[in-house]
């Protein structure tokens, strides 16, 4: 019996840990294109406030993880093909590896938009420890940071960079920050909170071109404004990494399509984490990943277990104005009920009969999370 | 009384406060929290990602 996991991000390593809790003996092989460092990705967007250097975010290297998990880890290794009939994967450095069960935990990649100008390629994005290390190096002498994308990751980085003394401008077409998750009042409250620590906003417009300037860069926006920056970060969202899944011929939509057992469209192949779309939901957050890892570990070790998601609030790390949001199901019908005070905003998405279907809490109102979860 | 922080999401467990909403009374020592307890903010297991003492 052999389980092969492709990917050593939080999904891959969490799954391996859960498998080891259930079965100390089953053969476990992990394959990763990077160096296999184990680290919590959410820690990248608040490391400055925490006073952490990039290397302090890493909890263990691949060799340590291999020993701890009693597994073989092939680092700097790419899967070049999967033969689902023969139950084997072909790699560029480790030959052909056979599996009884295969798990794709390939994660997601930042979405990149094309920009005009002679410095468009200098726009950074950060989704792993290597990119973060390069980003931190670029910050050494940087005072002015432009962030393209006023979403969750953009706002977390903006808060971290502004709190560490840099001047930050956030650019994006949205009417208010984190507009995909937050109702207007909550988004505006966040915007005010972040403005108070000096963050500037260029919303309702987009960057069109990025050019080198005498010092640093100049971004020209669609509304004609210009933003000067020493470092530029693109944070406009993530898209599931589907290259391998498509090569194998797995069914994909936004992510790799799976059922409640995380099984893909082909036998004995599973998908977990940011790359997976579980019954129509692609949820690139830690809690769904942990819940998925626990269920899948049971399934792979002989006890088929469905993934059942409870209400999973997302905690957004913007200490200048903290946010907790639990989105209502996409098809849910209801209205926002807003209670705003100077210190926080409580937004409840309620059905016609008054049932709470979702919420967004900001500032001091985040304290009400537990009470709201109880009535949902 | 000590405080512990989840290294994944920065949730802070304060022994003095506990998590009464989850049935963990104020004053509960970290060692006395069940092994199958999960971080209320991110779902990380107690034993997977060590909370760091702060």
Domains of chain B: 3-52 (2.20.28.10)
Residues A244, A104: Cα–Cα separation, whole Å: 9
**Does A290 lie at the interface with B, CB-CB under 8 angstroms?**
yes
Residues B19, A285: Cα–Cα separation, whole Å: 23
Name which of B49, B50, B51, B52 to mutate to probe chain A: the one with the most chain A Cβ atoms within 10 A of its Cβ: B49
Select the CATH number that applies to the domain covering A322-374 from these four: 1.10.10.10, 3.90.550.10, 3.30.390.120, 3.40.1410.10.
3.30.390.120
- Chain A residues in contact with B38 by the CB 8 A cut-off are 290
**Does A53 lie at the interface with B, CB-CB under 8 angstroms?**
no
**Does A317 lie at the interface with B, CB-CB under 8 angstroms?**
yes
Min CA distance, A326 vs chain B (Å)? Answer: 11
Residue pair A43/A50 in contact (Cβ under 8 Å)? The answer is yes
- Chain B residues in contact with A42 by the CB 8 A cut-off are 8-9, 42
Residue B52 has pLDDT above 80, yes or no: no
Per CATH, the number for A112-234 is 3.50.50.60
* Averaged pLDDT, A230-237: 97
Q: Binding site annotation covers B48?
A: no
Tell me, what's the pLDDT at A255? 98
Model confidence over A30-51: pLDDT tens digits?
999 999 999 999 999 999 999 9
Chains A, B: CB pairs < 8 Å: 47
Residue B21 has pLDDT above 90, yes or no: no
Per CATH, the number for A2-109+238-300 is 3.50.50.60
The pTM (predicted TM-score) of the whole model is: 0.95
Model confidence over A311-339: pLDDT tens digits?
999 999 999 999 999 999 888 999 999 99
Chain B residues whose C-beta is within 8 A of a chain A C-beta are: 7-11, 19, 21-22, 38, 40-45, 48-49
Min CA distance, B10 vs chain A (Å)? Answer: 8
Q: Check A315 against B42: CB less than 8 A apart.
A: yes
Residue of B nearest to A289 (CA): B43
Q: Check A59 against B49: CB less than 8 A apart.
A: yes
Model confidence over A234-247: pLDDT tens digits?
999 999 999 999 99
Cα-Cα-Cα-Cα dihedral sign, residues A289, A295, A299, A301: positive
Residues A160, A284: Cα–Cα separation, whole Å: 21
Q: Check A50 against B10: CB less than 8 A apart.
A: yes
Cα-Cα-Cα-Cα dihedral sign, residues A66, A67, A71, A74: positive
Q: Check A42 against B42: CB less than 8 A apart.
A: yes
A221 burial type by CB count under 10 A (0-12 exposed, 13-18 middle, 19+ buried)? middle
User: Reduced to 3 states, what is the DSSP secondary structure of residue A370?
Assistant: helix
Q: Residues of chain A with pLDDT > 70: what percent?
A: 100
Residue of B nearest to A43 (CA): B8
Quick check: ipTM above 0.90?
Answer: no
Q: What band does A342 get if pLDDT is binned at 50, 70 and 90?
A: confident
Residue B9 has pLDDT above 90, yes or no: no
* Averaged pLDDT, A299-308: 97
Domain boundaries, chain A: 2-109+238-300, 112-234, 322-374
The gap from C-alpha A228 to its chain's centroid, in whole angstroms, comes to 28
Q: Do domains A2-109+238-300 and A112-234 have the same CATH topology?
A: yes
**Helix A10-22 with A286-300: angle, nearest 10 deg:** 40
Tell me, what's the pLDDT at B49? 64
Residue A202 has pLDDT above 70, yes or no: yes
User: Reduced to 3 states, what is the DSSP secondary structure of residue A349?
Assistant: strand
Residues 6+ apart with CB under 8 A from A205: A171, A173, A221, A222, A223, A225
Average pLDDT, chain A: 96
Min CA distance, B8 vs chain A (Å)? Answer: 5
């Amino acid at each position: 019996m052999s389980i092969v996991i492709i990917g050593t991000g939080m999904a891959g390593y969490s799954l391996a840990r859960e498998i080891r809790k259930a079965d100390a003996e089953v053969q476990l092989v992990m394959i990763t294109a990077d160096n296999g460092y184990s680290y919590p990705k959410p820690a990248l967007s608040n490391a400055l406030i925490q006073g952490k250097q990039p290397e302090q975010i890493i909890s263990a290297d691949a060799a340590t993880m291999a020993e701890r998990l009693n597994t073989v880890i092939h680092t700097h290794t790419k899967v070049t093909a999967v033969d689902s009939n023969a139950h084997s994967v072909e790699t560029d450095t480790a030959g052909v590896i056979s599996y009884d069960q295969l798990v794709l935990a390939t994660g997601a990649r930042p979405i990149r938009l094309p920009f005009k100008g002679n410095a468009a390629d200098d726009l950074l994005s950060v989704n792993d420890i290597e990119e973060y290390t390069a980003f931190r190096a670029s910050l050494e002498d940087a005072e002015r940071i432009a962030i393209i994308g006023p979403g969750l990751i953009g706002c977390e980085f903006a808060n971290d960079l502004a709190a560490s003394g840099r001047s930050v401008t956030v650019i994006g077409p949205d009417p208010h920050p984190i507009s995909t998750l937050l109702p207007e009042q909550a988004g505006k409250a966040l915007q005010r909170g972040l403005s108070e620590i000096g963050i500037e906003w260029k919303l309702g417009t987009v960057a069109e071109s990025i050019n080198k300037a005498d010092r640093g860069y100049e971004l020209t926006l669609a509304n004609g404004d210009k933003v000067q920056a020493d470092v530029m970060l693109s944070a406009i969202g993530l898209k599931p990494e589907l290259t391998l899944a498509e090569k194998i011929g797995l069914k994909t939509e936004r992510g790799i399509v799976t059922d409640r057992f995380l099984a893909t469209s082909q036998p004995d192949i599973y998908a977990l984490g940011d790359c997976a779309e579980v019954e129509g939901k692609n949820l690139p957050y830690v809690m769904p990943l942990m819940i998925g890892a626990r269920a899948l570990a049971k399934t792979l070790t002989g006890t088929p277990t469905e993934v059942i998601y409870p209400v999973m609030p997302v905690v957004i790390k913007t200490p200048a104005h903290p946010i907790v949001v639990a989105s209502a199901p996409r098809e849910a019908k209801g209205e926002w009920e807003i209670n705003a005070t100077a210190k926080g905003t409580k937004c409840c998405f309620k059905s016609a009969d008054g049932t709470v279907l979702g919420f967004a809490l900001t500032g001091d109102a985040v304290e009400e999370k537990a009470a709201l979860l109880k009535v949902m | 009384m000590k405080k512990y922080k989840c290294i994944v999401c920065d949730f802070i467990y304060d022994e003095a406060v506990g998590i009464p909403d989850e049935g963990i009374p104020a004053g509960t020592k970290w060692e006395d929290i069940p092994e199958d307890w999960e971080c209320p903010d991110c779902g990380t297991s107690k034993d997977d990602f060590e909370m760091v003492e702060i």
